[in-house]
Amino acid sequence: MSESKTAGKRQFISELSPGESVDDFYYLREVRRGTARNGNNYLALRLSDRSGVVEARVWNDADAPMAQLSPETFVHVNGIVESYRSRLQLNLMTVSAADPDDLDHGDFVPGSYRDMDELRGYIDYFVLEIFDPDHRGLLESFFSNMEFMESFSRAPGDVRSHHAYLGGLLEHTISVATLCQHVIVQHPRLNGDLLITAALLHDIGKVEEFRFDGRIRHSREGQLLGHVLLGQRLVEDHIREIGDFPPEKELDLLHAIISHHGELEWGAPKRPRSAEALVLHHIDNLDAKVKGFLEVVDGRGEVGWPELQNLFRRPLDEPRAADRPED
């Protein structure tokens, strides 16, 4: 089935209401055959777009569409929105495969609320603030490349735990660099150029770690290597291209990047041994945990904030600013 990409999605899951007719495209996460109490077969589908996830059922002639549907693909559906056990569910009359080339994938994967041009401006600011010519040259080899910046700006920060949306990597990187800058002011003995350079490059491997064609998931490189090793490889490749990057600076920078997870059991090949690596680890962990917490209590993930299945495995108390009134 082919539709014009210019039409775009019209009915996002978060905006659906019981009794509403639905005729639109969604991403098919799961599909399975079930048997109802009366012995009839039905199809159970799990659909998603950038606004959320919804269950769907095909009750009539369920075997016919099953043959042409595969998980991790796009579908066009037609049916009615219903309420089942206090949750939305789609009762589908028809469901068919859709051509991914006719769709805007940004309609199906959540994106950052932040302005991307503003965030890219912060990258330029931090690069210009680097005094050391070697560190600045390395950063420019990444961020002055328009094709790379496009990939970097779209990449997510993670699959699930924090910044799990398009633009999440850029948003997280700016936050980490900004917090590191505050630490440098308080502790001027730190090598500020090294720390900010490491902050901007610490998650650079996530450009290759994820794919997001309908949902965020790991690429084959991400599954087999992970972003820490992919990032190390990218930085080493750029240093080789530069040609005269001092070996000691390279060693200090790579150590900060590969140790930013802090502990071996958290995925760090080495634990931090320099002050700059230690600061980067704790700032990275702080930003990821705070953002992950806020995403849970704001209901941005698939698990509600009071449930024990969230990132923190405990009920969470929603933060409230001092000047924010009680609901």
| Complete domains list, the chain, with CATH | 5-106 (2.40.50.140), 110-297 (1.10.3210)
Q: Could you tell me if 44 and 34 are in contact, meaning their C-beta atoms sit under 8 angstroms apart? A: yes
pLDDT of the residue at 323: 55
Q: Whole-angstrom Cα distance, residue 288 to residue 303?
A: 18
pLDDT of the residue at 171: 95
pLDDT in tens, 283-299: 999 999 888 888 777 65
Question: CA-CA distances (angstroms) from residue 82 to 41, 88, 178?
Answer: 20, 6, 46
pLDDT in tens, 244-284: 999 999 999 999 999 999 888 877 889 999 999 999 999 99
* β-bridge partners, 211: 217
Name residues of the chain where pLDDT drops below 50. 1-7, 302-309
pLDDT of the residue at 304: 45
**β strands within 161-307, DSSP E:** 210-212, 216-218
